[in-house]
Chain A
């Protein structure tokens, strides 16, 4: 049986409220100006469902800028001396103890549901997985990744700057996501791919119904209209060949680099850059 369901939009907030019981619910919320930011959802009705396609990157929830790993306790013989008094950790409550070892593990073990991310984010996170989970496994990344469930929403209306269609990283994914929603007007077409995603939907299956023929038809129509709206068509194949064949001019990279302000923002924002 296919992992596809229908969720009435009426039931969305109920569903999110139930999801929140298991952990922190993070979603796109309006802020100053026309900003939309991902942060913990306090009022579920404030989650933005009609945002533009491109949203801030959720990378920070897997690889935060500041991530304390452990804290050492001052022992009587003064061996594990932290040099300065440390503030409370963002990951751990005060009540957690050092135990016998004198080492407080500060690993972030919080469960999170991140609602409203985009297919390109999901594709990018899969690249992060390759980097952090193949070969050497980064335990901090792994822990967070395991505890985080992503609910992505297909972009019915790509931005003029969007180019996922040329790279096969969106706007609609066949695999690799946890839970993927497609907006069909008054209902969502829900697909699950990962075990965690399937478990989450099945755990509250009374909210979901099985899709019918008309749902599939509508979903296909939305998919077609979304893919027709892209203004940018990018193919990586020809640049790849150019680079491999050494047909780039010597000063090309220099020209690219000259524009760089060395802000380091790409490291925090872009899923593909992790050389800090």
Chain B
């Protein structure tokens, strides 16, 4: 008897499937270990250009949440007594009928969609197609609004394209790293690893952050400016560059426009003035300006510390001006690098899960682009841009938005001012939540649809360096859950719009056809190596490691004049502390995945508010005692972590913990252009909590 092929030996044995880490935007390559059909472990790829044999603690434990018993296994429908199990047919019919009704009665713009930076490119594309072609609304947005919408807007205006200009593998070769508003070693650990390697090789590391973060410990110069004074700080640095004649005049003349106007504005920010605003010594500002401008191979990195302000777009523009002024762009190891948070937030933006653009940032208001999509999708498409997340929440609260379809997001943890968000959710007539776990938002849902995790589906993620990478399917479906893309297609069919594909690869073909920067991205090209970096316009193109080589995407780079504005809500007598929020290395966003992972939960099981020893002493707060932190919007009771990491007058709270949700406190004031809320600054008061 021949036993090959039927041999059960292989099935019960140890397999490893190459895939991409589902946590952060570094996009590390990892193997999921599969034993007897079950996922049992994770190990890093040793030759992947990002992680080269390492992973951070989240990556090492990426296998655990996928098989957690809490996974949603069946569709659920709300009835008077609560959610009950339903069949797929029942649930989808209900969704199709209710969405149809609401659309007929109140118009398509009464429906809002939240797409997901956790889902694949293909799924985000399908979701935006669903919103635009099936429902007929541009009301689609996702959490990029809350993290990097300022980048997308700010850099697009300056250069024509809003993404990291360089590749992660270039970092180790750089000679100056200027990190502003990013706690890189904790938030993007593998990028942090490359930075430390650069430092080992002799690079100068400059960190600007009010907190003494882990990366700041390694910095040659640490600028501790006041939260929310980034524009002033950057203008001060540029003022020195101009006044000391360090401008790359040739670059400015050939490749940029609008310099003269900008130069005028700069005069208002001499180092002495800036010292008054930011609290950073004028001399340090001069030193940083000289080091940054005089070295070639200087890279800027920034993250939420720049973007999550009401001046988020201006902060980004200031960074863009700085690289143009010194000509540090368009070369390897020289550029401006927004570090994107979510594993696929870059991709979700690229795919047009935004209210104003189709995939590849083609504007919905551009008649040519719209006609192209109309012809491909055989449907008349809406003309005016839709609502952003924050606008949807507001519209829901006042009753203009009747239904929401939330895929893989958790606005009831992630959005600012949660009490208001709750009112919005309650104001909806119909809420659909599609996720892998029950979460704070699904408690309000009328229908809950169980989705597949990264380990159970095909598709691609795009990491922060624009690298489009293929996932590997390591396990079968959990319960009756389905990949998000298939759910969307099934729902579209129920609503009378044909959406059938043979697989994620066919969706990618459609994306490539409609999206110039993804033109040569096809699954079979991604399968041998570690993916391709966009722009990759055609099938023979090898991808682009760094951007803006000879020209900016939009031709000339534009100096956009910016002006320093203080944060929306500063400490005052009633609320004397400045609260800033962020992440911890052991946790991730709203905690649905990491808080179901034993190792991560063990290391950091509860919410701690960081407070400076001097403040703690004044208030009589001892370490690990419970305190009450309140803002004008609500209050929470975390325990105190007394540490010099956080400067006097400032407190820091991570936003992962539902028991003490930092976003109950945060201020929903937004940047006027990008509509990004100011998570990084609000005023709070601190009291000892009653025992």
- Chain A residues packing against B (C-beta within 8 Å): 20, 24, 26, 31-40, 42, 56, 60-61, 64-66, 84-93, 110, 258-259, 261-265, 268-269
Of the candidates A66, A87, A262, the one whose C-beta lies within 8 Å of that of B585 is A262
**Beta-carbon contact of B63 and A65 below 8 Å:** yes
Contacts A33-B47, A64-B41, A259-B196 given: A87-B18 contact, CB under 8 Å? no
Contacts A56-B43, A262-B603 given: A32-B63 contact, CB under 8 Å? no
Contacts A26-B14, A40-B13 given: A263-B47 contact, CB under 8 Å? no
Classify chain B's interface size.
Answer: 35 or more
Question: In the assembly, what is the distance between CA of A263 and CA of B44, in Å?
Answer: 12
> Which residues from chain B contact A86 at a C-beta distance below 8 Å?
69
> Which residues from chain B contact A66 at a C-beta distance below 8 Å?
40-41, 63-64
> Which residues from chain A contact B33 at a C-beta distance below 8 Å?
60, 64-65
B48 in the interface (beta carbon within 8 A): yes
CB nearest to B45 among chain A residues: A35
> Which residues from chain A contact B673 at a C-beta distance below 8 Å?
none
CB nearest to A83 among chain B residues: B69
**Beta-carbon contact of B36 and A33 below 8 Å:** no
Contacts A24-B9, A56-B43 given: A265-B585 contact, CB under 8 Å? no
- Chain B residues packing against A (C-beta within 8 Å): 9-10, 12-16, 18, 29, 31, 33, 35-38, 40-48, 54-57, 59-61, 63-64, 67, 69-70, 185, 189, 192-193, 196, 217-218, 528-530, 585-586, 599, 603
**Beta-carbon contact of A33 and B189 below 8 Å:** no
Question: In the assembly, what is the distance between CA of A33 and CA of B64, in Å?
Answer: 26
> Which residues from chain A contact B189 at a C-beta distance below 8 Å?
261, 263
Q: How far is the CB of B68 from chain A (nearest CB, A)?
A: 9
**Beta-carbon contact of B13 and A24 below 8 Å:** yes
> Which residues from chain A contact B45 at a C-beta distance below 8 Å?
31-33, 35
> Which residues from chain A contact B14 at a C-beta distance below 8 Å?
24, 26, 38-40, 61
CB nearest to A37 among chain B residues: B16
Of the candidates A34, A64, A263, the one whose C-beta lies within 8 Å of that of B55 is A263
> Which residues from chain A contact B15 at a C-beta distance below 8 Å?
39-40
> Which residues from chain B contact A33 at a C-beta distance below 8 Å?
29, 45, 47-48, 529-530
Question: In the assembly, what is the distance between CA of A170 and CA of B21, in Å?
Answer: 34
**Beta-carbon contact of B18 and A31 below 8 Å:** yes
Given contact pairs A64-B41, A90-B40, enumerate 5 new A-B contacts (beta carbons under 8 Å): A24-B14, A32-B530, A33-B529, A65-B63, A265-B54
**Beta-carbon contact of B46 and A263 below 8 Å:** no
**Beta-carbon contact of A32 and B18 below 8 Å:** yes
> Which residues from chain B contact A42 at a C-beta distance below 8 Å?
10
Q: How far is the CB of B654 from chain A (nearest CB, A)?
A: 15
Q: Which are the 7 A-B pairs with shortest beta-carbon distances?
A: A40-B13, A84-B69, A65-B41, A90-B35, A34-B47, A33-B47, A66-B40
Q: Is the interface of B mostly helix, strand, loop or mixed?
A: mixed
> Which residues from chain B contact A26 at a C-beta distance below 8 Å?
13-14
Q: How far is the CB of B327 from chain A (nearest CB, A)?
A: 33
CB nearest to B602 among chain A residues: A276
Of the candidates A20, A64, A263, the one whose C-beta lies within 8 Å of that of B54 is A263
B14, B40, B196, most chain A CB atoms within 10 A = B14
Question: In the assembly, what is the distance between CA of A93 and CA of B549, in Å?
Answer: 57
**Beta-carbon contact of B57 and A263 below 8 Å:** yes
CB nearest to B479 among chain A residues: A85
> Which residues from chain A contact B63 at a C-beta distance below 8 Å?
65-66
> Which residues from chain A contact B586 at a C-beta distance below 8 Å?
262
Of the candidates B36, B60, B530, the one whose C-beta lies within 8 Å of that of A264 is B60
**Beta-carbon contact of B18 and A35 below 8 Å:** yes
> Which residues from chain A contact B67 at a C-beta distance below 8 Å?
87
> Which residues from chain A contact B10 at a C-beta distance below 8 Å?
40, 42
> Which residues from chain A contact B603 at a C-beta distance below 8 Å?
262
**Beta-carbon contact of A261 and B185 below 8 Å:** yes
Question: In the assembly, what is the distance between CA of A258 and CA of B192, in Å?
Answer: 13
Question: In the assembly, what is the distance between CA of A56 and CA of B57, in Å?
Answer: 18
**Beta-carbon contact of B60 and A88 below 8 Å:** no
> Which residues from chain B contact A91 at a C-beta distance below 8 Å?
35-36
> Which residues from chain B contact A56 at a C-beta distance below 8 Å?
43, 46
CB nearest to B200 among chain A residues: A259
Q: How far is the CB of B598 from chain A (nearest CB, A)?
A: 10
**Beta-carbon contact of A261 and B529 below 8 Å:** no
> Which residues from chain B contact A259 at a C-beta distance below 8 Å?
196
Q: How far is the CB of B511 from chain A (nearest CB, A)?
A: 22
Q: How far is the CB of B218 from chain A (nearest CB, A)?
A: 8
CB nearest to A66 among chain B residues: B40
**Beta-carbon contact of A265 and B9 below 8 Å:** no
> Which residues from chain B contact A263 at a C-beta distance below 8 Å?
54-57, 59-60, 189
**Beta-carbon contact of A60 and B47 below 8 Å:** no
Of the candidates B37, B60, B196, the one whose C-beta lies within 8 Å of that of A268 is B60
Question: In the assembly, what is the distance between CA of A56 and CA of B53, in Å?
Answer: 9
> Which residues from chain A contact B528 at a C-beta distance below 8 Å?
32
**Beta-carbon contact of A110 and B12 below 8 Å:** yes
Interchain residue pairs with CB less than 8 A apart (24): A31-B16, A32-B45, A32-B529, A32-B530, A35-B46, A36-B46, A38-B16, A65-B41, A65-B42, A65-B60, A65-B63, A88-B37, A91-B36, A92-B36, A258-B217, A261-B185, A261-B189, A261-B585, A262-B586, A262-B603, A263-B56, A265-B60, A268-B41, A269-B43
Contacts A32-B530, A88-B37 given: A264-B599 contact, CB under 8 Å? yes
